[in-house]
């Protein structure tokens, strides 16, 4: 058995280097035992010393993306699972698109749990203010992620709270932002972080020990050394000289803070309010997507593989809104790629609308279904679920700012109009919304798929295409097809 002892819990680069060496030496997944930091090698196991130069083929970018996320999952089997899938993938490149593959679907679920965890951190971290005698304010937060997501999520806080000095402490790692750079250090405990806003000289205790910038910088520089050993190093030996440096650095920072405008730099306290990241968290489509991925506004997230966010150019003039992702969309994480999507694509092409220029999304972002044997049978979302998800749709509309919105079916129309409508009555003429957007209502493409007789199907198909032709006419200059 080949033992691979990892130094980090969640370092994709480390796993990739080790996986490459194993592949080059031709070591199959069944002969590898992956160990998280701290694991002890058993008898009859070889520590990793590999020499091999077998060519390692190119890996599809979609796998790299998946692996970068799945490696942050707390499941101890993640490294082995990734290697097994990679090994199989190099023999069959189509595997990355085989949603039914059990390894792929497990990795996809892990990646999705990681994204949810990261979003929870963005939404639920609450900073407590710590104020020194001069009124200088710093912030600290305790958070317990389910997965190893701090390093991947901390840059979000650095962007959002760039003018503050803050620390986020988790059980496995801490992050520190000094107003200019982000550093990571050992994990801590809840008691390391004040539970309420702290005043007077308390910051010295908190920041001078737990969040000491120098200590954290050292941890970063020494990242090749497992954090657990680093944590046990005698403070006096290594840390004390650095504390001096840190104090100097802090003094310089304070100096800068007092000579620069508070809005760009460290703010002085008037009244500390807990800072919630989610207030600012959805200023871009990327942020909104991340927030949707962590959505638990209704119970549908529990059994869906993942939330399916909209797709299309941010500058799209037309937005198509469907009901909810179907079976295939749920697995792939993309809207309208299954049978209903094919009907939509064909009708768009027939009406002269380029799908590449429209934004496609759904009223409800998680797949609602009832398991029946191996099949998952679509269930229509109820009013509460539509209402809960309307929050996301409204934000999506606010960011895309389409001129025309097309409601595909009754669920989308209900979400957009706030009341139930009959398609037959609502279709035809566009409905002006309060903000001036034109809303077209038409059938859902899957309705066409369900019509049993050919004549009826052809009739409805023609009506659907006529609706889309009217949409095209309403697009800027009547030239939606480009």
Question: Which residues are at the interface with ligand URA (CB under 6 A)?
Answer: 322-326, 329, 335-336, 338, 340-341, 362, 446
**How many angstroms separate the CA atoms of 475 and 440, rounded?**
12
User: Of the two residues 129 and 439, which places its CB atom closer to ligand URA in the complex?
Assistant: 439
Closest distance of CB 362 from ligand URA, Å: 5
User: Of the two residues 8 and 295, which places its CB atom closer to ligand URA in the complex?
Assistant: 295
Closest distance of CB 354 from ligand URA, Å: 19
Residue 454 exposed, middle or buried by CB count within 10 Å (0-12, 13-18, 19+): exposed
User: Of the two residues 185 and 333, which places its CB atom closer to ligand URA in the complex?
Assistant: 333
Number of Cβ within a 10 Å radius of residue 166: 27
User: Of the two residues 188 and 325, which places its CB atom closer to ligand URA in the complex?
Assistant: 325
**Cβ-closest position to ligand URA:** 322
**How many angstroms separate the CA atoms of 358 and 318, rounded?**
5
DSSP strand pairing (46-47 vs 32-35): unpaired
Dihedrals phi, psi of 441, to nearest 5 degrees: -115, 130
User: Of the two residues 12 and 447, which places its CB atom closer to ligand URA in the complex?
Assistant: 447
Closest distance of CB 203 from ligand URA, Å: 50
**How many angstroms separate the CA atoms of 167 and 176, rounded?**
4
Beta-carbon contacts of 90 under 8 Å, excluding residues fewer than 6 positions away, are 23, 56, 57, 59
Closest distance of CB 392 from ligand URA, Å: 14
Closest CA to 364 of 386, 333, 394: 386
For helices 102-124 and 78-91, the axis angle rounded to 10 degrees is 130
User: Of the two residues 338 and 480, which places its CB atom closer to ligand URA in the complex?
Assistant: 338
Cα dist. 143→122, 305, 312, 357, 428 in Å?
A: 10, 25, 34, 41, 52
User: Of the two residues 209 and 342, which places its CB atom closer to ligand URA in the complex?
Assistant: 342
**How many angstroms separate the CA atoms of 23 and 2, rounded?**
12
User: Of the two residues 70 and 331, which places its CB atom closer to ligand URA in the complex?
Assistant: 331
* CB-based burial, 340-359: b 16+ in 10 Å, e otherwise: bbebbbebbeebbbeeebbb
Closest distance of CB 322 from ligand URA, Å: 3
Closest distance of CB 52 from ligand URA, Å: 45
Closest CA to 355 of 475, 207, 229: 475
What sections of 284-440 are H helices per DSSP? 285-293, 327-332, 339-351, 383-400, 410-417, 423-426
Closest distance of CB 98 from ligand URA, Å: 19
Closest distance of CB 409 from ligand URA, Å: 7
User: Of the two residues 167 and 344, which places its CB atom closer to ligand URA in the complex?
Assistant: 344
User: Of the two residues 86 and 363, which places its CB atom closer to ligand URA in the complex?
Assistant: 363
Number of Cβ within a 10 Å radius of residue 421: 16
Closest distance of CB 316 from ligand URA, Å: 16
**How many angstroms separate the CA atoms of 299 and 421, rounded?**
25
Closest CA to 289 of 302, 306, 273, 270: 306
Closest distance of CB 373 from ligand URA, Å: 21
Closest CA to 117 of 147, 95, 96: 147
């Amino acid at each position: 058995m080949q033992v691979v002892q990892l130094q980090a819990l969640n370092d994709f680069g480390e796993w990739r280097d080790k996986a490459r060496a194993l592949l080059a030496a031709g070591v199959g997944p069944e002969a590898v035992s992956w160990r998280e930091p701290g694991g002890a090698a058993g008898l009859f196991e070889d520590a990793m010393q590999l020499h091999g130069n077998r060519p390692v083929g190119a890996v599809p970018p979609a796998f790299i993306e998946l692996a970068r996320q799945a490696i942050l999952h707390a499941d101890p089997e993640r490294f082995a699972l990734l290697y097994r899938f990679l090994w199989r993938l190099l023999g069959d490149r189509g595997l990355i698109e085989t949603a039914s593959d059990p390894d792929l679907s497990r990795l996809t679920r892990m990646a999705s749990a990681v994204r949810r965890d990261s979003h929870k951190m963005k939404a639920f971290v609450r900073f407590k203010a710590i104020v020194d005698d001069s009124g200088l304010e710093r912030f600290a937060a305790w958070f317990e992620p389910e997965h190893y997501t701090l390093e991947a999520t901390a840059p979000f806080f650095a962007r959002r709270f760039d003018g503050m000095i803050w620390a986020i402490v988790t059980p496995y790692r801490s992050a520190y932002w000094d107003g200019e750079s982000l550093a990571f250090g050992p994990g801590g405990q809840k008691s390391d972080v004040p539970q309420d806003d702290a005043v007077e000289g308390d910051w010295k205790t908190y920041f001078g020990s737990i969040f000491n910038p120098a200590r954290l910088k050292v941890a970063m520089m020494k990242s090749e050394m497992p954090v657990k050993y680093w944590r046990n190093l005698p403070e006096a030996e290594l840390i004390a000289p650095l504390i001096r440096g840190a104090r100097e650095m802090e003094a310089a920072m304070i100096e800068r803070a007092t000579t620069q405008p508070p809005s760009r730099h460290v703010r002085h306290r008037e009244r500390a309010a807990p800072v919630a990241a989610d207030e600012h968290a959805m200023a871009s489509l990327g942020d909104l997507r991340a927030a949707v991925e962590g959505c638990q506004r209704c119970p549908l997230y529990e059994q869906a593989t993942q939330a399916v966010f909209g797709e299309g150019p941010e500058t799209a003039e037309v937005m198509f809104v469907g009901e909810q992702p179907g079976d295939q969309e749920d697995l792939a994480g993309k809207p309208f790629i299954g049978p209903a999507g094919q009907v939509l694509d064909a009708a768009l092409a027939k009406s002269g609308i380029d799908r590449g220029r429209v934004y496609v999304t759904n009223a409800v972002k998680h797949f609602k279904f009832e398991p029946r044997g191996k099949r998952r049978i679509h269930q229509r979302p109820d009013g509460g679920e539509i209402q809960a998800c309307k929050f996301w749709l409204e934000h999506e509309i606010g960011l895309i700012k389409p001129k025309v919105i097309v409601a595909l079916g009754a669920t989308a129309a209900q979400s957009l109009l706030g009341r139930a409508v009959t398609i037959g009555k609502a279709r035809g003429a566009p409905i002006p919304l309060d903000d001036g957007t034109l809303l077209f209502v038409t059938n859902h493409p899957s309705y066409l798929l369900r019509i049993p007789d050919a004549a009826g199907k052809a009739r409805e198909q023609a009506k659907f295409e006529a609706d889309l032709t009217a949409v095209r006419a309403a697009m800027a200059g009547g030239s939606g097809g480009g």
